[in-house]
Amino acid sequence: MSKSLTHQDKEGRIRMVGVGGKSVTSRRALAGAHIAMSADAFNAIRDGQGPKGNALHTAELAGIMAAKRTADLIPLCHPLPLTSVKVSIEPDNDGNGYDIRAEVICDGKTGVEMEALTAASIAALTLYDMTKALDKSMTVSAIQLLEKSGGRSGDYKRALPDT
C-alpha cells in the first residue's frame, strides 16, 4: 500500500479527513521542543525571576491551553475531546536552555499528534515571550513527535540519535 496525502482528494482539493466510520480508541502522543538562551535568561527562568514573572509555570499553562485550541489554529485538525494534557519543562543537559515535553491523551477517532506538537511549540514560544527582555537571540528548535500510540497506524517511537 503506497502512502498518500490524506488531506487532498484525487483532484488535489483540500479536505478534512472523514473519521465518522472509525472506532473510538485510546490515543496518546508525546512531543518535544527545545529553547536555547543566554545564561542570564536561563537563570532568570530557573529562579522564577523573569521580567514578566514565573515563566516556567506560565509556559506550561500556555502549552495546555494550546493543545485544547489546536483545531482553531491548524485548519484541517479535528476538534478532539482531550482527556489529559501535561506539559513539563526541564533544564537541558548543557545548562543553556530548556527541554519541553507535551503529552496529550484522548479517547477518539483520530490521533493527538498535532495537539502535542502545538502544546510543545506554544510552551517554547511562551518562554521566549516571557524572557525576550533578557535575550532576543533565543532559538526554538527540535519541535518533534517523540512517541504516539493508538490508531490504525500503530505505535511510533522516535529513534534516539547515535552518540
Q: Is residue 53 part of a domain?
A: yes
The pLDDT assigned to 81 comes to: 93
Active site residue 72: no
Q: Taking phi first (over 0 means left), then psi (-120 to 50 degrees means alpha), and beta for anything else, what does residue 115 get?
A: alpha
Q: Is residue 48 part of a domain?
A: yes
Is residue 138 pLDDT above 90, yes or no?
Answer: yes
Kindly report, residue by residue over 15-30, the tens digit of the pLDDT. 667 666 677 889 999 9
Q: Is residue 82 part of a domain?
A: yes
- Whichever domain contains 84, its CATH number is 3.30.70.640
Measured between alpha carbons, how far is 31 from 115 in angstroms, rounded to an integer?
Answer: 9
Q: Is residue 111 part of a domain?
A: yes
Measured between alpha carbons, how far is 118 from 110 in angstroms, rounded to an integer?
Answer: 16
Q: Is residue 31 part of a domain?
A: no
Q: Point out which residues pair with 90 in neighbouring strands.
A: 99
Is residue 98 pLDDT above 50, yes or no?
Answer: yes
The CA-based diameter of the chain, rounded to the nearest angstrom, is 55
Closest CA to 146 of 126, 117, 119, 118: 117
Confidence of residue 2 (pLDDT cuts 50, 70, 90): very low
- DSSP string for residues in 64-85: HHHHHTHHHHSTTPPP--EEEE
Output phi, psi for 87, to 5 deg. Answer: -125, 130
Q: Is residue 14 part of a domain?
A: no
Q: Is residue 61 part of a domain?
A: yes
The pLDDT assigned to 3 comes to: 62
pTM confidence score: 0.88
For the segment 72-84, the average pLDDT, to the nearest whole number, is: 93
Is residue 163 pLDDT above 50, yes or no?
Answer: no
Count the domains in the chain.
1
Is residue 91 pLDDT above 80, yes or no?
Answer: yes
For the segment 51-73, the average pLDDT, to the nearest whole number, is: 94
- Sort 122 into a burial class: Cβ within 10 Å, 0-12 / 13-18 / 19+: buried
b/e map of 5-38 (b: 16 or more CB within 10 Å)? eeeeeeeeeeeeeeeeeeeeeebbbbbbbbbbbb
Is residue 64 pLDDT above 80, yes or no?
Answer: yes
Which residue of the set 129, 135, 155, 162 is catalytic? 129
For the segment 78-84, the average pLDDT, to the nearest whole number, is: 94
The pLDDT assigned to 5 comes to: 57
Full residue range of the structural domain in which residue 72 is found: 36-150
Q: Taking phi first (over 0 means left), then psi (-120 to 50 degrees means alpha), and beta for anything else, what does residue 151 get?
A: left
